[in-house]
Amino acid sequence: MILQYNNRMEKTKTLKVRVKDKHANQLNLMARSVSFVWNYINDLSSRSIKEKQKFLSAYDLQNYTKGASKPLGLNSATVQMIGAEYATRRKQFKKAKLNWRKSKGSRRSLGWIPVRHDCISYKNGQVYHNKLFFSLWDSYGLSKYKFRSGSFNEDSRGRWYFNVVVSYTPEQSVGSKAVGIDLGCKETATDSNGYKLAGREYRKLEEKLGKSQRANKKKEVKNIHAKIKNRRKDALHKYTNTLVRNNAAIFVGNVSSQKLVKTKMAKSVLDAGWGQLKNMLDYKCDHAGVYFEEVNESYTTQTCSSCGALPLERPKGIAGLGIREWTCSECGVAHDRDINAALNILALGHGRLAGGITHHNLSGLVA
């Protein structure tokens, strides 16, 4: 099967680049000023609603913060963007008053400094903003991108990153195959080609994390959590990149992590990162011209992918979760539980395509 997908439109993506630690003090000062502006706007907006029954727009807030940028050590565009962000979030959460940004204490807000595209420039490994140069570990080659909006952001370990939205023209996938993916807890994902993504990054470091928590080593605990997150993200990026590069259509089971986190399987479900995997596949397929679809995975584990039967000896229910291999009593074919499910998901995906699914980017299907 070959999917012809023609789309060379310009796309956007966000690049996250580490800022060198020597700039942390300067960025912390600017972040405190951002929090001051946010809290001022929060109080002003709340009083306006309470006393005048008027919701202040982003434009209204600009009038109240005009001239504040210089004494606060911020760029004027940054102050405007804080007001715009506040108005957007107030409308999104439908609240008259949002949470305060805290600069001290155990629950302090992580640093955030928004920047506008015309107030940042890049040259020789440094970003110029607010009359200051910030050195970066540039792993992307930022000089070849056109900057749009961006921000400086702090993580839980006090490290700073420059996040910038850039325009680019994505490369189209040259793959001509299709693949089905079964999501699970023992392995994060198993595809119809037989490859299994191990996952379980939290489980690998759970014992070490527990010792650090009991010893009250807060810094070490944060480092371990960061390592788990980074390992999971790296593995998912590598896996999804390979899938998108080698296939023209990708189908995944519609298992819901939001429902399963309410069960006893919550820790394993969250460790697997199904939502993150689906999100990556969604935007990467869109950019690379690959067809992506979630299909109903009901009975895909129990159905024989060879003959299509539902044999009596199939793995069923909670009790059947421990059965990793089984043999179909109808045709005698031996199955790996997860690979069998992935093959059935692929078959369902083929059926949906054959049924004439419309997609705004899908220009043709050649069998």
Domains of the chain plus CATH, in order, are 12-168 (no CATH), 177-366 (3.30.420)
Residue 300 reports pLDDT greater than 70: yes
Per residue in 173-196, pLDDT (tens digit) is: 888 899 999 998 888 999 999 999
pLDDT at position 362 is 36
C-alpha dist (Å) from residue 173 to 44, 191, 248, 277, 288: 51, 18, 7, 18, 5
Choice among 13-17, 169-173, 183-187, 310-314 with the minimum mean pLDDT: 310-314
Q: How confident is the model at residue 354 (pLDDT cuts 50, 70, 90)?
A: low
- Asked if 190 contacts 181 with a C-beta cutoff of 8 angstroms, the reply is yes
H or E element that contains 127: strand 126-129
Residue 136 reports pLDDT greater than 60: yes
Residue 357 reports pLDDT greater than 50: no
CA dist., res. 277 & res. 14, Å (int):
17
Which percentage of the chain shows pLDDT scores above 70? 91
